[in-house]
Amino acid sequence: MGHLFHPDQRSYDLKLEVCSTAFHYVMEELQKAPHLASSWIRVERIYTERELSSAPLLVLRLTNQAIEDDWYDLEDGYQGGPQASHRRCAVCRAALEQVRDLLVDVRKMGRRDLSLTYSFEVILSPRLARMLQEAGFTGFALRPVWHYRRPHQGEPPLYQLVVTNVLPPMASPPTEFEPERRCEVCGTETKFIKHTHWWGRIPYYEETEIYYPKSVLEQVADFNATWEKIGELPSWSRLVIITQRMYRWLKEQRIRGWSAEPVYLVE
């Protein structure tokens, strides 16, 4: 347990084990005064290596978001101007289709092999892009990413990982979702995996598991995108699901900047 007082915020950060007496005590005490509870009570799961190394499929989470968005999209404020990277719905602004290579400030990538843009596009170093191709992994394409001041000159300085193998919908139930958002004009539907829970009168955030029917294994590639569009309208993205083979390879190659969570299979 650690705690830290933030004088400016007049609050404490508390890290407690969910099974501990201290956690139960704090949550019970807060029932008496729910207005004192932070809206950011988060329960984080820590997976054991055994859980991770036995899961046939895993969600790939990138742990850094070093790259700002596409240069012209930033300038445009996502209004879908003539130079925008994506064609967008005129009403909700959801991205409908990527229409050109991304143009970013490639210096933000530094020496990383793997990062995200603010819009959750997965960006690879040329080194990692080449390694993935040479290892013969499936389910993805590489799209050049250019420095915004020198587009289309020489070898691409970075690559975008475009996951091409889209899985069928998750098994739901048992997968649960938060209420969905839907644009009546373009038909885009987005949602979050369920994460809001209640301890009596106190809300807290805990991500819930993702389940697929076992039959999904017949159609998985090493990289897969969820059929579900996750997030808000307009800024949604698909989750990336990887195989156990891919998980082990990323670890063996000591690629950094990611973590993984197991996906569960049901009959």
Work out how close the CB of 191 gets to Zn ion at its nearest, in angstroms, rounded to a whole number. Answer: 15
Place of tokens 């596009």: 121
Near Zn ion by CB under 5 A: residue from 33, 36, 141, 185: 185
Question: Nearer to Zn ion by C-beta: 14 or 89?
Answer: 89
Work out how close the CB of 219 gets to Zn ion at its nearest, in angstroms, rounded to a whole number. Answer: 29
Q: Given the rule CB under 5 A, which of 9-17, 33-41, 88-96, 148-156 is the region that contacts Zn ion?
A: 88-96
180 sits near Zn ion (criterion: CB under 5 A): no
In whole angstroms, what is the distance from residue 239 CA to residue 18 CA?
27
Q: How far from 68 is each of 80, 115, 136, 232, CA to CA, in Å? A: 17, 10, 30, 19
Q: Given the rule CB under 5 A, which of 2-10, 72-80, 87-95, 253-261 is the region that contacts Zn ion?
A: 87-95
186 sits near Zn ion (criterion: CB under 5 A): yes
Q: Given the rule CB under 5 A, which of 107-115, 130-138, 183-191, 256-264 is the region that contacts Zn ion?
A: 183-191
Continuous H helices in the chain: 21-31, 49-54, 71-76, 126-134, 244-252
Quick note: the x/- pattern for Zn ion over 25-54, rule CB under 5 A, is ------------------------------
Radius of gyration, CA atoms only, the chain: 21
Work out how close the CB of 184 gets to Zn ion at its nearest, in angstroms, rounded to a whole number. Answer: 8
In whole angstroms, what is the distance from residue 78 CA to residue 73 CA?
5
In whole angstroms, what is the distance from residue 65 CA to residue 62 CA?
8
183 sits near Zn ion (criterion: CB under 5 A): yes
Question: Nearer to Zn ion by C-beta: 20 or 79?
Answer: 79
In whole angstroms, what is the distance from residue 69 CA to residue 3 CA?
35
Cβ atoms 99, 87 nearer than 8 A: yes
In whole angstroms, what is the distance from residue 18 CA to residue 25 CA?
11
- Residues forming the site for Zn ion (CB under 5 A): 89, 91-92, 94, 183, 185-186
